[in-house]
Amino acid sequence: MTNGETPNNPFETIAANEAEQIAALGELTVKLQDMRYTAKGTDVLRGVHPKSHGCVRAFFDIRHDIAEDLRVGLFAQPGRHYEAWIRFSNAAVRVGPDLKDGENDSRGMAIKVLDVEGEVLLEDHGRQSQDFLMINTPAFAFANVEDYLRLNRILLENDDQATMFFAPLQANVPGITPEQKARIFNSFKVVQEIKAKPVANPMEVRYFSGAPFLFGPERAMKFAAIPWGGEKAPQTLPDPASDDYLREALLARMRRKEDVCFDFAVQVRGPGPDLGIEDATSVWDEAAVPFRNVATVTIPAPQNAVDAPRRRAICERLVFTPWHSLAAHQPLGSINRLRKAVYLASKKHRGGGKGRRKKRPR
């Protein structure tokens, strides 16, 4: 399925040269980790999202009133209760201040729903989990494997500076087609959206899958986590904001004796011409395809252990990938196919999951 062959679903179109590009990106991921960490003699961290604001234990409950047509895969059984881990992070490829030069970064929320039943695509150290990886904008900043490869080559050659990726918007760059240029412009717009999006507390904003996933054999979904009461607005940042103000906000919230809750919601569509499956910068219009609630995410509070050394160590060991998934929710599209190899490469190189105990969250 991932090697330029015929897809196993009615949604994907796989470019002929994709397998080579994905292999090149697997190698680049490791080279970039070496540039950032091995060369400096420090511990190797995640290829992306290395900075964690905190890992919290949580519950993932399928709604009792879930609509009949949404009872699919993980959501098949109304009222089903799961334990989960959630990691909140910054997307930036290096650990640094939450506001770098005063600019906002893309923020991540990754949910690992534990011990799911059914056919899975990839096991997590002998266990079955359904991982939902999200960012705080509806679009991912890069459309497909081709663009991500160009970006990663630029990062490696320019000590992690991505500016050259956008150079074709200012001047003619040999080898860039009009289609590529249009995609680069879309990436530029998403990056501007990210920079314009302040987050005061990682537990008070919406998160989105960006990319699409299967919802049973004949439908596709995008998913989101929506804090109860909606995204708190405005997101007023502390002034001055410390380098780790998001961790501080998360810890302060976890000291309060009031659970944090999110609705977990899905947009679901059948096959069609305008789904943008192969373009992760595309967004499904919420007015046309509304998000429908399927589950509730509860983060019990207080959770004073969040900042304890043991919890921090567990947090570093956790391994999330969209391919820790039920077959019913198979990741779709170019960017998602790429993620299979790259997350594994990143995990392997950083030793993720080592020593992970078969215990439930505490």
Contact between 170 and 101 under an 8 Å Cβ cutoff? The reply is no
The one among 14, 28, 72, 211 contacting ligand HEM by CB under 6 A: 211
Which 10-49 residues touch ligand HEM, going by CB under 6 A? 25, 29, 46-49
* Interface with ligand HEM, residue 343, by CB under 6 A: yes
H/E run at residue 294: strand 292-299
The residue written with tokens 């081709």 in the block is 146
Q: CA-to-CA distance for 89 and 292, rounded, in angstroms?
A: 25
Q: Which of 51, 128, 132, 63 is nearest to 92 (CA)?
A: 51
C-beta of 63 vs 222, nearer to ligand HEM: 222
* Interface with ligand HEM, residue 59, by CB under 6 A: no
Question: Which of 56-64, 238-246, 266-274, 332-340 is the region at the interface with ligand HEM (rule: CB under 6 A)?
Answer: 332-340
Q: CA-to-CA distance for 70 and 75, rounded, in angstroms?
A: 7
CA angle 265, 114, 217 (to 5 degrees): 55
Q: What is the b/e burial string over 302-331, where b = at least 16 CB atoms within 10 angstroms of the residue's CB? A: ebebbeeeebeebbbbbbbbbbbbbebbbb
The one among 219, 320, 340, 361 contacting ligand HEM by CB under 6 A: 320
Q: CA-to-CA distance for 348 and 258, rounded, in angstroms?
A: 38
Q: CA-to-CA distance for 113 and 86, rounded, in angstroms?
A: 9
Residue 237 has φ and ψ, to the nearest 5°, of -80, 150
Q: Which token pair is 185?
A: 């412009």
* Interface with ligand HEM, residue 223, by CB under 6 A: no
Question: Which of 4-12, 76-84, 207-215, 249-257 is the region at the interface with ligand HEM (rule: CB under 6 A)?
Answer: 207-215
The one among 12, 54, 57, 89 contacting ligand HEM by CB under 6 A: 89
Which 99-158 residues touch ligand HEM, going by CB under 6 A? 108, 110, 133-135, 140, 148
Q: CA-to-CA distance for 355 and 343, rounded, in angstroms?
A: 18
Residues in the chain: 362
* Interface with ligand HEM, residue 212, by CB under 6 A: no
* Interface with ligand HEM, residue 66, by CB under 6 A: no
The one among 116, 137, 350, 361 contacting ligand HEM by CB under 6 A: 350
Q: Distances in Å between the alpha carbon of 192 and those of 12, 246, 290?
A: 28, 20, 25
The one among 168, 202, 216, 352 contacting ligand HEM by CB under 6 A: 352
The one among 147, 205, 342, 361 contacting ligand HEM by CB under 6 A: 342
Residue 293 has φ and ψ, to the nearest 5°, of -70, 130
C-beta of 76 vs 166, nearer to ligand HEM: 166
* Interface with ligand HEM, residue 93, by CB under 6 A: no
Binding mask 233-262 for ligand HEM (x = CB under 6 A): ------------------------------
Binding mask 276-295 for ligand HEM (x = CB under 6 A): ----x---------------
* Interface with ligand HEM, residue 297, by CB under 6 A: no
Where on the chain is the footprint of ligand HEM (CB under 6 A)?
A: 25, 29, 46-49, 87, 89, 108, 110, 133-135, 140, 148, 209-211, 280, 319-320, 335, 338-339, 342-343, 346-347, 350, 352
